[in-house]
Structure 1
Amino acid sequence: MKKSKFSFLLILTLVFSLILSACNSGDDNAGDKEPADKDDATGEEVANVPQELNMLDSSEIPTMDSVLAEGSTSFTYINNVGEGLYRLDQDHKPVPALAEGEPEISEDQKVYTFKLRDSKWSNGEPVTAHDFVFAWRRAIDPATASPYGPYMMGGKIKGAAEITEAGAAKKEYNVEDLGVKAIDDKTLEVTLEKPVVYWEDLFAFPTFYPQNEKFVTEKGDAFASNAENLLYNGPFKMEKWEGTDATEWVLVKNPDYHSADDVTLEKITVNVVKDSNSAVNAFEAGETDMTGLLSSDIVPSYEGDERMLTWMEPVVFWIKMNQKNEALANVNIRKAIAMGFNKEDLAKSILNNGSIAANFFVPKDFVTGPNGEDFREKHGDLIVFNAEEAKKHWETGLKELGVDKLEIRYLGGDTEAAKKTDAYIKNQLETNLPGLTVKLESVPFAVRLERDNAMDYDLQFAGWGPDYGNALSFTDLWITDGGSNRMGYSNSKYDELIKAAQGELATDPEKNWEAQQEAERIMLEEDAGLAPVYQRSANILLNPGVKGLAIYNYGPDYNFQWVKITEAE
């Protein structure tokens, strides 16, 4: 769920080179400590420094159920307390985790046989192949209503799409038709619909994590409702988390993790602070070691300060337009909205944090094609701010609808930064499109996800970070009735191009690339199916000295598995 390869390596270099002081610097006996031991790999002093990290997040955790998770906040903490066949390493590469080495792959590249390493759940039970089968079947079962199961598995895991389609049509289905099988406790066989070139990324994603059937079944509706109703098999476990309304949670090192000897951090305490000013005050007071993303009004004051880390993420924010709304089903109304606000001014004056205007939905500096060019090179900007053209489309659309004014609900976030952005867009649209009234509805992130799933909105400000290292992580969002579409967009030509990129063109890099670029052009330039806003630059404050924080391009935001707190300089 987030920056180019170059930016990612730069940030890692910065993070690894910084030295983070432990938060409890007010110890009266600090000067009496014996010399600290050195970390074997780095020579940094760590032994006598409390291995505890205090950090802030900007939202509550919507869910800790890997099958029901759909946002980067959930994925981040699920990734730190759980593990699947693969895991992203410090260099952002998927590597075997519960899988013992590389799988055996059939000649047609559709059948993968994994051997599992010895590992166990936090209740002492072994993690088996049956745990994967149970979790994957639960994720694809229409009765579960997993938002990511159908999206991540459809068209990839054999039988997934058919199960989803049958459920949608209220026809009979059998989750045992999904292409996953436990040959024995330590052998998992996965059958794909077709070759998938990014399969390692796929199996590192939290949706594909295992779950213990006995535990989940016994807990019933209480499963994943709080820390006590969860099992853990990752580097950490939840010591404290009271559920989705909790504004504080605590992770501690998991002694049963198979590679526990490589985990130095003992404790992570997270508090939710939605206001950047409050977060910065806590940071400067020494109450936290790491903030959430900073708002634009904070960033300029920390320019040149080594404690601020900045990187361009492959995360694009946009306005979704629900075509169940008659007005938004009109292409001229959609084009008017997509062209009707000054996103350059928004990025520079309102955000003012390094973010850039987005006239696209596949981000810059995310993936390169077979010719070595960035995905953006061919089409560049596809839908830009143009108040005059927006007004023309608006007037045409109103005539086609037989009305002279419209009131449209706008679903946005409840953080201070979100409210500023939403207020700016409201003002721009109402100014440039005479007769439009935008009704703002500011809600917490978890509520927005619920309403997105129910398509209970007209306009919705939302964003997307990639789930794997391929442009398909963006382009396959908008296929007709796709698991993450949820705005009623449909274009048969778009569907044809993306399904070809997922299918017969999967092993033809050049044609695959061209198909996806053309699909993006159709969706934005011809249909204005979406109103892109900006590509995000991330800025956080980190106290002098945490080593080994992994910041990811896709999936989880952070991994704390390799963090070490070192002696302050």
Structure 2
Amino acid sequence: MGKKFNVALALLLVASLALTACGGVDQSQGGSSGKQVLNLTETQEPPGLDSSKTTDTVSFSVLNNVMEGLYRLDKNNEPVEGMAESVDISKDKKTYTFKLRDAKWSDGEPVKAQDFEYSWKRALDPKTKSEYAYMLYPIKGAEAYNSKKGKADDVGVKALDDKTLEVKLEQPIPYFLGLTAFATFNPLRQDIVEEHGEKYATEPDKMVYNGPFVLSEWNHNKDFQYKKNDNYWDKKTVKLDEINVSIVKDMNQKMNLYSTGKVDFTSLGEDYVDKYQGKPDVYQHNEATNFYLQFNTNNEFLDNAKIRKAISMAIDRKTLTDKISKNGSVPAGALVPPAVQGPEGKSFRDLAGKEYIKHDPKEAKKLLEEGMKEAGIKKIPKLELLGYDSSGAKKDQEFIKEQLNKNLGIDVDLRPMSFDQKLKLESAGDFQISYAGWGADYNDPMTFLDLWVTGGSFNRGDWSNKEYDKLIKKSKTNPDFDERIKDLVKAEELLMEEAAIAPLYYRSQLFLRQTYVKDLYTHPFGADFSYKWAHIEGK
């Protein structure tokens, strides 16, 4: 979400859910007076809820529950109709005609096809500076408009009437319906956006909602609250009346809440894995997420591919996953996680046939020396590692620091900070190495591979390879899906050969979930959590 959803991309930091018991509850229903109430925790403040601009998984999870696109992911992670009642796809698979269902916004106004046309073109407008605008590039004329080489009127999205949206693609792609479930494809009300301007979506009353819930309160950096959206088209399916979310970063605090019966669903901290191992309330969520080191190639030392590869090979990934994280994650030697599929539902990792990076301190030391000689660098500089301030992430970062010092003699200063602050520094290129993560935004290897094209909005280390760019550009419009996947395998191999990043692990998360918490679904792609079907039963 690429989860998906930055992962832009980073689920480790994103969501530690917890459900706190309310005073005076009806034990059979989970809330006072029979109300269905859940109390959750998040590890971070949502940085922004403007779906045209936001890039992080915390915000994506919120938007997934208060907004709805043409499609949404169901409990089986398949795209199902949301605002779209039906779709007609042309024989050449380049024109999609969506018929919208009768649906309303939270203020009672009807959801119209024009809301989608406005939203998509707003994201593509160069003035919006949307980092996710490239997600819309499969649409005819979208890239040209976003790169100031075309006009908005030439973009292939058009409201034929209030209930009919026509979308024309440059070329057929196998995952377009899944794309429409992603937040950037949400509808937006032009009158509301323009009324609030730069303050749009910064407070609950500065946006409107068309999803299962509305955001009723938001006390920044402290807590926020969802309430059931009585104007949602499928409100009969929504059982929860209220969800209260507290922002809690400390894992020990969350585990204490769970152990004392005040939390019903929370992430399982690595220090508590042995205690809960084998118990029925342990739930493992396998993600399509990769955590990695991102190198800033504008740094003289890190501009050398051999030095970057040396840093990558110096890290013992198995110890990191098995002894430090202990959450079911597995070592990564490539970019695209095993959960991401290619043609006919086959894992991209199986199609690629290999992992590219292995732990080898001896070879790493040799590559470091060769790289420094090539770059004319005689002394190893001290490096800074940009990272997260959550307790689990800090342990990972300490381990990486120890490995680089032990195996390469590199001294590393750690810079842990809030999610929002870290994203800003990365976007500004103000880092040397960043401990980052990316979750799949949709189920296709392109959700990872197009991040690293020259000048890409998430290619924050400024790595560049012309052959790589050609392979990605060709694959975005290649109707031969078999040839396309072979080119994507070649692209990933180039990325790994030049060590544009140092993949660390394909992440899983462990949660503790009481048995009375029903149908709270997690997704490997796009947003992390769906509360539409969640309810409490038998508490």
Distance 1:179 1:83 in 2: 21
Q: Deviations over 1:506-548 (max 9, x none)?
A: 4x33322222222211210x21111000111211112231111
Q: Deviations over 1:140-173 (max 9, x none)?
A: 11211111122x112x11222222323xxxxx75
Letter in 1 for 2:136: M
After TM superposition, the score normalised by the length of structure 2 is 0.92
Is 1:62 matched with 2:23?
no
Q: Deviations over 1:9-68 (max 9, x none)?
A: xxxxxxxxxxx99824765x96xxxxx79xxxxxxx999743011111111111111111
Letter in 2 for 1:350: I
Output aligned runs, 1:367-386, within 5 Å: 367-370=341-344, 372=346, 375-376=349-350, 378-386=352-360
Q: Deviations over 1:465-504 (max 9, x none)?
A: 1111111111222222223222212222222222232222
Aligned-residue offset at 1:233: 0.7
Q: Which residue, 403, 411, 415 being the options, matches 1:437?
A: 411
Partner of 2:328 in structure 1?
354
Does the CA contact (< 8 Å) of 1:332 and 1:394 recur in 2?
yes
Partner of 1:530 in structure 2?
501
Distance 2:510 2:305 in 1: 36
Q: SS where residue 524 of structure 2 aligns? A: coil
Unaligned 5+ runs, structure 1: 4-19, 31-35, 38-44, 167-171
Is 1:517 matched with 2:489?
yes
Shift in CA distance, 221/420, structure 1 to aligned 2, threshold 3 Å: same
Q: Which residue, 121, 131, 142 being the options, matches 1:160?
A: 142
Letter in 1 for 2:166: E
Partner of 2:77 in structure 1?
92
Aligned-residue offset at 1:2: 8.3
Does the CA contact (< 8 Å) of 1:332 and 1:393 recur in 2?
yes
Is 1:554 matched with 2:525?
yes
Q: Which residue, 512, 516, 522 being the options, matches 1:545?
A: 516
Aligned-residue offset at 1:458: 1.2
Is 1:234 matched with 2:191?
no
Distance 1:487 1:414 in 2: 21
The worse-fitting range, judged by mean Cα deviation, of 120-129 and 412-421 is 120-129
Partner of 1:182 in structure 2?
159
Q: SS where residue 202 of structure 2 aligns? A: coil
Q: SS where residue 430 of structure 1 aligns? A: helix
Q: Cα RMSD over matched residues?
A: 2.3
Partner of 1:15 in structure 2?
none
Aligned-residue offset at 1:459: 0.6
The worse-fitting range, judged by mean Cα deviation, of 397-406 and 222-231 is 397-406
Shift in CA distance, 428/22, structure 1 to aligned 2, threshold 3 Å: closer
Q: SS where residue 74 of structure 1 aligns? A: helix
Q: Deviations over 1:392-445 (max 9, x none)?
A: 1111222223231212221100111111111111121122223x3322211111
Letter in 2 for 1:510: D
Shift in CA distance, 415/563, structure 1 to aligned 2, threshold 3 Å: same
Is 1:324 matched with 2:292?
no
Partner of 2:117 in structure 1?
133
Q: How many aligned positions are there?
A: 524
Q: Which residue, 11, 20, 23 being the options, matches 2:21?
A: 23
Q: SS where residue 108 of structure 1 aligns? A: coil
Distance 2:113 2:339 in 1: 37
Q: SS where residue 118 of structure 2 aligns? A: helix
Q: SS where residue 337 of structure 1 aligns? A: helix
Shift in CA distance, 429/184, structure 1 to aligned 2, threshold 3 Å: same
Q: Deviations over 1:157-194 (max 9, x none)?
A: 1222222323xxxxx75333322111122221112111
Partner of 2:56 in structure 1?
71
After TM superposition, the score normalised by the length of structure 1 is 0.87
Does the CA contact (< 8 Å) of 1:121 and 1:127 recur in 2?
yes
Partner of 2:128 in structure 1?
144
Distance 1:469 1:203 in 2: 12
Shift in CA distance, 22/351, structure 1 to aligned 2, threshold 3 Å: closer
Distance 2:82 2:200 in 1: 25
Q: Which residue, 395, 402, 406 being the options, matches 1:420?
A: 395
Does the CA contact (< 8 Å) of 2:255 and 2:269 recur in 1?
no
Shift in CA distance, 158/120, structure 1 to aligned 2, threshold 3 Å: same
Does the CA contact (< 8 Å) of 2:19 and 2:263 recur in 1?
no
Distance 2:513 2:268 in 1: 11
Q: SS where residue 535 of structure 1 aligns? A: strand
Distance 2:458 2:114 in 1: 28
Letter in 1 for 2:139: I
Q: Deviations over 1:256-292 (max 9, x none)?
A: 001111111100011111111110111222322221x
Shift in CA distance, 2/455, structure 1 to aligned 2, threshold 3 Å: closer
Does the CA contact (< 8 Å) of 1:21 and 1:567 recur in 2?
no
Partner of 1:364 in structure 2?
338
Partner of 2:8 in structure 1?
none
Distance 1:516 1:498 in 2: 7
Letter in 1 for 2:472: I
Q: Deviations over 1:230-277 (max 9, x none)?
A: 1111100011013xx432111000000011111111000111111111
Letter in 1 for 2:172: P
Is 1:452 matched with 2:426?
yes
- The percentage of counterpart residues that share the same residue type is 38
Does the CA contact (< 8 Å) of 1:321 and 1:458 recur in 2?
yes
Unaligned 5+ runs, structure 2: 4-17
Does the CA contact (< 8 Å) of 1:21 and 1:565 recur in 2?
no
